[in-house]
């Protein structure tokens, strides 16, 4: 079979070498206690006949901040000629991985010793991410790609209406998307050697009382695929699952079960002929600014008197910004499109993006097959839609405290992001 592309994959073990604090749940009281599974960073590099190259980096981590991804992307540009638009970094959002500086900056009051360990981890991670991408680029060999879809049913909408407002629970009537997009990469012998797949769900089967490193359901799905398809590297991309949880949750067995269900969805998709990918790779990247709702210094003077230590942490950070003459009014926000020929496009959005965005973007492009990924290139906060901003709750408001953000986004957030998506899609030739 003649090859239309060249592709390469690489894997790096990024499990912390010593026990550090786990991220994602404010309720934790101590560092990690061993590992259920190793944590990995993986990279898939693809090159078309014109020599255009794409690198997809996936990680079993809570959320990579731009202070890390920008450094890795700049070095890939300098040493390998990869443009910023042509590399994407996705974080699986496992809640049983290490704290990543400076993600969720006000969630923990860490000792100086733990802070120092986490700084070392972030520094090593920056090197590891570069090395895994470079290794994938170094392995390029003739390849064919095809796209197909499967399903997995364990994600449920978690925004439950209650007397005191929307809380995190289960909402069987809320929107979900059980599609599993799958990109299969095969060698000239026709055998797959990489499979890139996505799912729209928080990676939170394991709740705050779990203290062992793991990739949660996504880690188990990747492990299951790699053991049942020998010679294949499985890479997981989390989609717009910010308001979705695995259901049920909170035990190791359930994380394994959900992982197996997702792996079955991937295998069923991979067994179909799918759509062969033909044509050039194209990529576009744009950094926009998202506006916060207006605030005053007084708001944070008041909040600094709170009995809630997370609010106090946030208030102190905001007062510092006011005192330095640069109150936080906006945040940078990355939007990216990576088009795999005629067959599938990855729209990669920063932050914890709620499902309304992927539903809207899929409606906007009904003829396109899409991975609409969240948690890409930077994870600065939740990204609510206008609907969710108006309804309130964790994804709209209270999560912003843990992210050290001044407060909710202003209601133009959704149109700003959709406008930018249209712009990057146009630049990759999709109207
Ligand atoms: Zn989250």
The answer to whether the beta carbons of residues 215 and 39 sit under 8 Å apart is yes
Strand partners, 11: 42
Nearest one of 353, 359, 346, 406 to 375, comparing CA atoms:
353
pTM of the model: 0.98
pLDDT tens-digit readout, 227-276 = 999 999 999 999 999 999 999 999 999 999 999 999 999 999 999 999 99
* Phi and psi, residue 413, nearest 5°: -55, -45
pLDDT interval class at 103 (50, 70, 90):
confident
pLDDT interval class at 363 (50, 70, 90):
very high
Tokens representing 379 are: 């994870």
pLDDT score at 24 = 94
What value does the mean pLDDT take over residues 71-76? 98
The answer to whether the beta carbons of residues 218 and 94 sit under 8 Å apart is yes
pLDDT score at 105 = 78
64 CA from centroid of ligand 1 (Å): 13
Q: Cα separation of 58 and 255, whole Å?
A: 19
- Beta pairing class for 192-199 and 233-238: parallel
Q: Cα separation of 80 and 74, whole Å?
A: 10
pLDDT tens-digit readout, 22-58 = 999 999 999 999 999 999 999 999 999 999 999 999 9
pLDDT score at 268 = 98
242 CA from centroid of ligand 1 (Å): 6
* Phi and psi, residue 75, nearest 5°: -70, -35
DSSP 222-277: HHHHHHHSTT-EEEEEEBS-TTEEESS-SSHHHHHHHHHHHHHHHHHHHHS--EEP
Contacts of 127 (CB under 8 A, 6+ apart): none
89 CA from centroid of ligand 1 (Å): 17
Query: Residue 27, class by beta-carbon neighbours within 10 Å (0-12 exposed, 13-18 middle, 19+ buried)?
Result: exposed
pLDDT score at 1 = 65
Region of residue 325 (left: phi > 0; alpha: psi -120 to 50; beta: else):
left
The answer to whether the beta carbons of residues 415 and 429 sit under 8 Å apart is no
144 CA from centroid of ligand 1 (Å): 35
422 CA from centroid of ligand 1 (Å): 26
352 CA from centroid of ligand 1 (Å): 6
189 CA from centroid of ligand 1 (Å): 40
Q: How many Cβ atoms sit within 10 Å of the Cβ of residue 79?
A: 11
What value does the mean pLDDT take over residues 148-155? 98
Considering the chain, what percentage of its residues have pLDDT values greater than 70? 100
pLDDT score at 128 = 98
378 CA from centroid of ligand 1 (Å): 13
* pLDDT of 217 over the 80 cut: yes
Q: Cα separation of 295 and 284, whole Å?
A: 34
pLDDT interval class at 299 (50, 70, 90):
very high
What value does the mean pLDDT take over residues 303-327? 96
60 CA from centroid of ligand 1 (Å): 14
105 CA from centroid of ligand 1 (Å): 14
Tokens representing 251 are: 């035990």
- Report the mean per-residue pLDDT for the chain: 97
Cis geometry, peptide bond prior to residue 248 (ω within 30 degrees of 0): yes
* pLDDT of 106 over the 90 cut: no
Q: Cα separation of 189 and 144, whole Å?
A: 10
Region of residue 329 (left: phi > 0; alpha: psi -120 to 50; beta: else):
alpha
């Amino acid at each position: 079979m003649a090859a239309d592309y060249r592709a390469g994959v690489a894997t790096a073990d990024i499990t912390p070498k010593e026990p550090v604090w786990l991220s994602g749940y404010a309720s934790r009281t101590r560092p990690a206690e061993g590992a259920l599974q190793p944590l990995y960073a993986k990279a898939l590099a693809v090159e078309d006949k014109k020599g255009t190259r794409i690198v997809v980096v996936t990680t079993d981590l809570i959320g990579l901040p731009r202070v890390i991804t920008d450094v890795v992307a700049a070095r890939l540009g300098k040493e390998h000629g990869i443009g910023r638009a042509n590399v994407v970094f996705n974080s699986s959002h496992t809640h049983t991985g290490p704290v990543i500086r400076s993600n969720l900056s006000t969630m923990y009051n860490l000792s100086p010793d733990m802070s120092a360990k986490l700084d070392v981890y972030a520094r090593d991670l920056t090197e590891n991410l570069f090395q895994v991408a470079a290794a994938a680029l170094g392995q390029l060999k003739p390849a064919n790609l095809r796209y197909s879809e499967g399903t997995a049913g364990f994600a449920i909408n978690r925004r439950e209406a209650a007397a005191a407002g929307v809380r995190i629970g289960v909402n069987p009537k809320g929107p979900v998307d059980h599609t599993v997009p799958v990109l299969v990469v095969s060698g000239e012998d026709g055998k797959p050697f990489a499979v890139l797949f996505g799912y729209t769900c928080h990676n939170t089967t394991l709740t705050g009382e779990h203290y062992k490193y793991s990739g949660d359901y996504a880690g188990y799905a990747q492990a299951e695929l790699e053991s049942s398809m020998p010679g294949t590297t499985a890479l997981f991309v989390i989609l717009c699952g910010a308001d979705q949880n695995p259901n049920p949750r909170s035990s190791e067995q359930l994380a394994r079960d959900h992982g197996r269900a997702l792996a079955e969805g991937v295998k069923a998709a991979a067994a179909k002929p799918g759509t062969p990918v033909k044509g050039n790779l194209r990529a576009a990247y744009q950094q926009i600014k998202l506006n916060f709702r207006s605030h005053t210094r007084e708001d944070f003077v008041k909040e600094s008197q709170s009995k809630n230590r997370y609010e106090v942490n946030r208030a102190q950070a905001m007062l510092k910004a006011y005192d330095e003459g640069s109150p936080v009014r906006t945040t940078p926000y990355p939007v990216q499109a990576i088009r795999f020929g005629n067959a599938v496009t990855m729209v990669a959005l920063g932050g914890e993006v709620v499902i309304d965005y992927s539903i809207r973007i899929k409606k906007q492009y009904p003829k396109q097959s899409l991975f609409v990924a969240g948690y890409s290139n930077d994870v600065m906060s939740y990204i609510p839609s206008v609907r969710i901003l108006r309804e309130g709750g964790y994804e709209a408001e209270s999560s912003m405290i843990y992210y050290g953000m001044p407060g909710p986004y202003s209601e133009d957030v959704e149109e700003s992001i959709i406008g930018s998506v249209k712009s990057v899609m146009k630049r990759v030739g999709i109207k």
